[in-house]
Amino acid sequence: MFVLGFDEDDWPSIKKTIKFAKKSRLSTTQFLILTPLPGSEFYEKMSLENRLRFHDWALYDVHHVVFQPARFSLFDLQKAQMYCHKKFYSLKQMFGKILAGQWLSVGVAHYARKLNRMWTKRNRTFLRVVDLLKPKAGARISVDYREDVSLEL
């Protein structure tokens, strides 16, 4: 697993991470977003620096950007995570695994591609919101974003 969104992270480091993951010949991986979990030192730091952007705990799942990264807009960090999954589980990568006879890896890659498409589809509204939150000179934007969630037992 790789975690994206540290203050040192930028597009070059994201591209180095995906290059490393592919070069390492991993059969599966996840690219997760650094998440300030309540009660952690990181949460306190983000809170003190006024960098928390969402307070809906359903979004604190390492798949949604909930704080303002240092070198990315919220949308760009979210896009970076999606980019990493797309590159790691690309058709080109899958084809290489087919040629190598790595059938389990092919199955995992196919499943991961499907999960990524489903996540993107389910989170269209969230993606639009973080795109709208791109910083503009002098702008102060606040959003109360919530999703209806129901648990069936």
pLDDT tens digits along 51-78: 999 999 999 999 999 999 999 999 999 9
Mean model confidence pLDDT for the chain:
89
Asked whether the beta carbons of 35 and 62 are under 8 A apart, the reply is yes
Instruction: Indicate the pLDDT class of residue 138, thresholds 50, 70 and 90.
Output: low
123 vs 76, 134, 147, CA distance in Å?
Answer: 15, 17, 10
Identify which of 152, 149, 150 has the alpha carbon closest to the alpha carbon of residue 56.
Answer: 149
Q: What is the pTM of this model?
A: 0.81
Q: Which two tokens stand for residue 133?
A: 């939150």
pLDDT digits (tens, 9 = 90+) for 127-137: 988 888 876 65
Place of tokens 């975690």: 3
Interatomic CA distance for residues 14 and 128, integer angstroms: 22
pLDDT score, position 137: 58
Helix axes 74-88, 11-23, angle to 10 degrees: 20
Taking the alpha carbons at both ends of the chain, their separation in whole angstroms is: 30
Residues with Cβ within 8 Å of residue 14, at least 6 apart in sequence = 4, 80, 83, 84
